[in-house]
Amino acid sequence: MEDYGCDMRGMLSFQILWLLSKKVMNGEELAGEIEKRRGEKPKAGTIYPALKGLSSKKLIFGSKNGKSVYYRLTPSGKKALDHAVNHFCSSFGEILESKTKA
């Protein structure tokens, strides 16, 4: 991981939920979408345990198709995402706004 001085880890499961709310995807596609945004692609040992955790909480549901597992949000995953987006925006919204204005 690149060094930003402060630790920029976190919010992986949140970002996965958000991405799956836009499109049904498998783990590889999700990793690619995260790479577009973060600049670095999460490794297999990062993304698959996260997907497993979200599955076991029933926030996402995976269907195997060939060698891939395609994930979609469950209804409770959609609810959790809404709640989390609200929290995220009240926590960090001003930082994103300050950048937009600059």
Partner DNA sequence: AAATAAATATAGGACATACTATATATTTAA
Partner DNA sequence: TTAAATATATAGTATGTCCTATATTTATTT
- Report yes or no: 13 and 54 within 8 Å, Cβ to Cβ: yes
If one asks whether residue 99 binds DNA (CB under 7 A), the answer comes out as: no
**Alpha-carbon torsion (55, 80, 23, 47), positive or negative:** negative
Q: 87 touches which of DNA, a copy of itself, none (CB within 5 to 8 A by kind)?
A: a copy of itself
Six-digit token string for 75 = 């209804």
- Report yes or no: 33 and 25 within 8 Å, Cβ to Cβ: yes
Q: 61 touches which of DNA, a copy of itself, none (CB within 5 to 8 A by kind)?
A: none
CA 54, distance to chain mean position in Å, is 10
Q: 27 touches which of a copy of itself, DNA, none (CB within 5 to 8 A by kind)?
A: DNA
If one asks whether residue 89 binds DNA (CB under 7 A), the answer comes out as: no
Which residues of the shown chain bind DNA in the complex (CB under 7 A)?
1, 6-14, 26-28, 40, 42-46, 48-53, 62, 66-70
